[in-house]
Amino acid sequence: MLVLMAVLLMSSCVSTKKIVYFQDPDEVYRQAQQILQQYEMRIKSADQLLIKVTCSEPELLTIFAQDVIMGTSGNTGSININQGQGNMTNAYGYTVNNEGIITLPAVGPVSVAGLTSDEAAKRIEDAIINAKLIIDPKVTVRLLNARVAVLGAVKVPQVVSLTSERNTILDVLSRCGDIADTGLRQKVTLYREQDGVRKKFDIDLTKADIFNNEAYYVQQNDLIYVEPNKSQSIKSSAFYTFLSAGASIISVISAIVTIVMVTTK
């Protein structure tokens, strides 16, 4: 009986050291740390881009509206927004093809793969100027379908949509309700497709050096997996179910025996 209870207790206990983040000595945090990683997302094939073009002469933007059907596959059409003070914004949705190129109306193909949103905007501005369409275009680019999948021992496994250009793995995990008590914070794995290859990053969230990890800032289409601890595996096993049922039966029998012994005295 005692052995059975001990096994159940050991399988249900979680050490505090296994669930506390950033356990390094305070000295590690006292000095300011320079941010070395690239946190801006880089455009990849199959990304969907929202492209906004403005200029001081709205009539020059009509060519984009007229030729919008020339956009690449995935074009979501155009949105015309009056900005006031004589300015107009045309917004277009485009899908980056396998060669990392988008095709702009009246401009032609523009290579954007590997660029940040700001870099892509500058390249599109240059392409519009070189095509002699507008002399003062102002372009902004935003990713429309940026997301990260989170699986394993988190409270709410899900696909997380990224709402900004700067997202950390902690931001994403917090959107999932944090790692469950049954999850191993020392064994978080991030998978990333980059430059035609898939990379694996092993992450220990109990250590402060996570801030210097290349995978601290997530990129679109990353996959995060949190490994469950052994107690979770034991709890989900048939053996654990048998032990739990056996413990309940033994407790009931023990209670009956105690009652009988008391009443017979």
Query: Are residues 53 and 139 part of one domain?
Result: yes
Query: Are residues 169 and 127 part of one domain?
Result: no
Mean pLDDT, all residues of the chain:
78
User: Residue 201 belongs to a domain with what CATH number?
Assistant: 3.10.560.10
Query: Are residues 117 and 174 part of one domain?
Result: no
pLDDT of residue 231: 62
Is 238 contained in some domain? Answer: no
Residue 242 pLDDT class (50, 70, 90 cuts): low
Domain span including residue 207:
19-37+146-231
Query: Are residues 113 and 100 part of one domain?
Result: yes
What are the pLDDT digits (tens) for 62-105? 776 654 433 344 444 444 433 333 343 556 678 999 999 999 88
- The number of CA neighbours under 13 Å toward the Cβ of 175 is 18
The Cα–Cα gap between 63 and 52 comes to: 14
DSSP sequence for 45-84: TT-EEEEEEEES-GGGGHHHHHTGGGSPTT---EEEEEEE
* CA distances in angstroms from 241 to 6, 48, 153, 180, 254, listed in the order given: 15, 48, 20, 21, 20
pTM (2 d.p.): 0.70
User: Residue 92 belongs to a domain with what CATH number?
Assistant: 3.30.70
**Side by side, which strands form the sheet with 197-203?**
158-161, 147-152, 223-228, 183-194, 197-203
Q: What's the rounded mean pLDDT across residues 227-253? A: 62
Query: Are residues 215 and 87 part of one domain?
Result: no
Highest mean predicted confidence (pLDDT) among 49-53, 106-110, 118-122:
118-122
The Cα–Cα gap between 21 and 89 comes to: 45
Of 51, 56, 107, 99, nearest to 77 by C-alpha is 51
What are the pLDDT digits (tens) for 251-260? 667 667 666 6
Residue pair 144/157 in contact by the 8 Å Cβ criterion: no
Total domain count, the chain:
2
What are the pLDDT digits (tens) for 193-208? 987 889 999 999 998 8
Query: Are residues 150 and 138 part of one domain?
Result: no
Query: Are residues 225 and 151 part of one domain?
Result: yes
**Is residue 179 scored above 90 in pLDDT?**
yes
Query: Are residues 119 and 172 part of one domain?
Result: no
